[in-house]
Structure 1
Amino acid sequence: MTLPAGVQRRDIGGQTVLATRGERVSEEATDGEWREWDPRRSKLGAMLEHGLDTGLDGDETVLYLGAAAGTTASHVADFAGPTYAVEFAPRPARDLLDVAAVRPNLFPLLKDARKPETYAHVVEPVDAIVQDVATRGQATVALANRQFLHDDGRLLLAVKARSEDVTADPVTVFDDVRDQLREGYEVLASTRLEPFHDDHLGVVARPR
């Protein structure tokens, strides 16, 4: 597995874990400046643990959709360049602001990822879109935000089956999402994110 520059496997607390170097966000284990990136709390971390080739090298410009309180966004900002973090819910957005206060390259946006026109005047073209939006129409969100992605960029999408249809077989949901994505993306790889996240699929795609 190739990790982005700025992400390492380190012995922290007697275990070999993914880690980035930056200010601590919550109660994650640390080793000096390095802090654990827990795949149980991060869909992107789980994708890296599963060995998906994300195409991330480090220093990319990133649009993060569904940043929530900023746990994963903070790790991304630790190794990436400018990171635009979109979150719609006011309560987690307040925590995201605290995370961004010590990361000058992390730009929190209290916006709805389903309405990219509301932040199009702020976000520059990006090398990667990281999407973790637990809503119906996750492929639609990815397609709507494709406009920001460079032609050789990557979409790193975490699909939550229960957000699409709580009654449907997750396999069917994942197939449907991949089919919808093909309207604007070429799917390069995908994998289930168990045991870290039940009924989730990690997808790597590029614009077409």
Structure 2
Amino acid sequence: MPVRELSSGIYELDIDDRKMLATKNMIPGMSVYGERLITEDDTEFRQWDPSRSKLGAMLLKNFDIPIEADSTVLYLGAASGTTVSHVSDILTDGLVYAVEFSPRTMRDLIQLCDQRPNIIPILADANKPQSYAHIVEKVDVIFQDVAQPNQAEIAAINSKYFLEEHGHLMLSIKSRSIDTVASPKKIFKEEVRKLESGFDIEFEVLERKELDPFHEDHLGLVAQMFVDDGE
């Protein structure tokens, strides 16, 4: 079975002429959300379903993913940990802070963290980063997937608190959570504008693509914090 590494810790498997996204399973034999487990040359991989993961969809849309094995990641909108578990697989020498607002969903996330020591679960509102500032250190990457109307503002305020200089923001913008009537393309354009110049912290948008057919009315975005070095 051909195996190709697409990015650090992220693989493409070719099974019966069908390409499959996967990560190496940190906990062999254990499936997180019913995903398929595949073994090749004594290595177990977990299938990564892009229809259940915005980050997975971004990978299949050929985004350049700025997550390395030793990265520190802040994940906003962790839910029960479907995507967080794959980030955990990638971070063999790193750490992911997983922020989730729902106590019910957090129970599932905590069960996942019991098996995966590189995930730190945080029950908190992503609108209030000051409430978890005593827990989260400076991070290399922020990944955000929250269904809130002020998605750009949440990204900016968390970046101001936690993102390293020149660190990367990965954002899934859900247009219907911002406005159910307006054109998604118009909403995406406005959210990008906000990130580039609407706050006291600015970003350079490196990539932006819509995530259909995996996630309708969603825009994936990768940006880098802009820091004026005075040059």
TM-score by length of 1: 0.95
1:67 aligns with 2:78: yes
Q: How many residue pairs end up in the alignment?
A: 208
What is the alpha-carbon distance in structure 2 between the residues aligned to residue 7 and residue 129 of structure 1? 18
1:102 aligns with 2:124: no
Question: C-alpha displacement at 1:56, in angstroms?
Answer: 2.3
- Runs of 4+ aligned residues of structure 1 deviating over 6 Å after TM superposition are none
1:180 aligns with 2:194: yes
1:28 aligns with 2:35: yes
Question: C-alpha displacement at 1:74, in angstroms?
Answer: 0.6
Partner in structure 1 of residue 56 of structure 2: 45
The structure that has the greater radius of gyration is: 2
Higher RCO (CA-CA < 8 Å; seq separation 6+): 1
Q: Residue 205 of structure 2 aligns to a residue in which SS? A: strand
Q: Residue 6 of structure 2 aligns to a residue in which SS? A: coil
- Over the aligned positions, Cα root-mean-square deviation in angstroms equals 1.6
Any residues of structure 2 matched to 1:131-146 within 5 Å, and which? 131-146=144-159
Partner in structure 2 of residue 17 of structure 1: 20
Q: Residue 51 of structure 2 aligns to a residue in which SS? A: coil
Identity of aligned residues (%): 49
Question: C-alpha displacement at 1:92, in angstroms?
Answer: 1.1
TM-score by length of 2: 0.86
* Residues 124-148 of structure 1 deviation map (CA, whole Å, 9 limit, x = unaligned): 1101000000111000000010121
* Residues 84-133 of structure 1 deviation map (CA, whole Å, 9 limit, x = unaligned): 00000111111111111111000110011110000001001101000000
Question: C-alpha displacement at 1:10, in angstroms?
Answer: 1.4
1:129 aligns with 2:142: yes
Question: C-alpha displacement at 1:188, in angstroms?
Answer: 1.0
Q: Residue 58 of structure 1 aligns to a residue in which SS? A: coil
Q: Name structure 2 gaps, 5 residues minimum.
A: 227-231
What is the alpha-carbon distance in structure 2 between the residues aligned to residue 186 and residue 54 of structure 1? 15
Sort the Cα spacing of 1:12 and 1:88 in 2 relative to 1 into closer, same or farther, 3 A.
farther
